[in-house]
Amino acid sequence: MRANPGCAACRDSTPLPFAFTMAFQPILDMSTARVWGYEALVRGAGGEPAGAILSQVDDDIRYRFDQAARVKAIELAGRLFPAHDDVRLSINFMPNAVYEPNACIKASLEAARRVGFSHDRIMFEFTENERFRDIEHVKRIVAAYRRQGFMTALDDFGAGFAGLSLLANFQPDLIKIDMDLLRGIDADPRRRSIVAGIVAIGRSLGIALLAEGIETAAELDAVRGLGIDLVQGYHFARPLIEALPAVPGLAPASAAQAA
């Protein structure tokens, strides 16, 4: 990685060498039968999967891509999301691409103001699948974002490098339990025991839990039986590019959804 370029990086408006957009997947609160939020997922301009885009993101453009992805997600949310609601936008970000937290968040704040999207409806997800180069730096990022009123989430919990160690260092608002731990949980006592332990940890720390990657009704019943109400996965809806997918049994979130 290059040396920290400080605020010069924040002013770098050099175009990226590729085009991309965002798809949206709903996050549901089963306790209220409502859409709690939508996660913004990177896609190619032609619908290519995230991996095809992220494979082009090397250290030289990591910062610019991270900034551009946040702004793109917020701009689309301003157009697609219901204006007078508390439906949240969840954005993945790269902690290793953030140089100075308060400076690097300015573009996101400016985008939110420009499209009239309240920043307290935005949640930033950092994943334990990315090995953090400086734990103290990531702690500063999380603290700075929470001071600004953003929510933070630890994504892919249980699949990466050091989930419990991260919880010992950070206090996210939400933990997203990795889909590999949830696959077939209805028929696997070991998985149920592990997830029950994560639920207990979350409750003791005052952290909300979200089960991601739910694909069957049986998996949904199992996680709800463990006390998890926030859920996400193909069982409910697949991501749609620049649109909000309908969820059977729930009213559309906006007129754009039905387009």
Cα 62 to Cα 42: distance, rounded to the nearest angstrom: 14
User: What Cα–Cα distance (Å) separates residue 60 from each residue in 2, 97, 120, 171, 214?
Assistant: 7, 10, 31, 30, 36
Q: Specify the CATH number for the domain of residue 207.
A: 3.20.20.450
Residue 206 zone, left/alpha/beta (φ > 0; ψ -120 to 50; rest): left
Mean pLDDT, residues 99-119 = 86
HSE toward the beta carbon, residue 237, CA cutoff 13 A: 24
SS3 (DSSP) at 55: coil
The residue range of the domain holding 202 is 7-245
* Residue 28 within a domain: yes
> How many other C-beta atoms lie within 10 A of the C-beta of residue 82?
15
Checking if the pLDDT of 107 tops 80, the result is yes
Q: Is residue 156 part of a domain?
A: yes
Over residues 29-38, mean pLDDT:
95
Say which residues have a Cβ less than 8 Å from residue 172's Cβ, sequence separation at least 6: 142, 152, 153, 154, 207
Which residue, among 133, 37, 150, has the nearest Cα to 94 in the 3D structure? 133
Per-residue pLDDT tens over the stretch 130-154? 556 667 777 888 888 888 889 999 8
- State the alpha helices, DSSP H only, in the chain: 7-10, 50-54, 62-80, 101-104, 106-115, 135-147, 163-169, 179-182, 189-205, 217-225
Please report how the helices 106-115 and 62-80 are oriented relative to each other, as an axis angle in degrees rounded to 10.
20
Q: Name which of 90-99, 187-196, 249-258 the model is least confident about.
A: 249-258
High-pLDDT (> 90) share of the chain, %: 57
Assess contact for 254 and 42: CB atoms under 8 A. no
pTM over 0.75? The answer is yes
* pLDDT band, residue 12 (cuts 50/70/90): low
The pLDDT-based confidence of 258 (bands split at 50, 70, 90) is very low
Task: Give 9's pLDDT tier (boundaries 50, 70, 90).
Answer: low
- Domain count for the chain, please give it: 1
Task: Give the whole-angstrom CA distance, residue 91 versus residue 110.
Answer: 16
Residue 156 three-state SS: strand
SS3 127: strand
User: Which of 59-73, 95-109, 154-168, 213-227 ranks highest by mean pLDDT?
Assistant: 213-227
Q: What is the DSSP letter of 250?
A: S
Q: Which of 189, 207, 241 is nearest to 24 (CA)?
A: 241
Spatial neighbors of 252 by CB under 8 A, at least 6 apart, are: 244, 246, 258
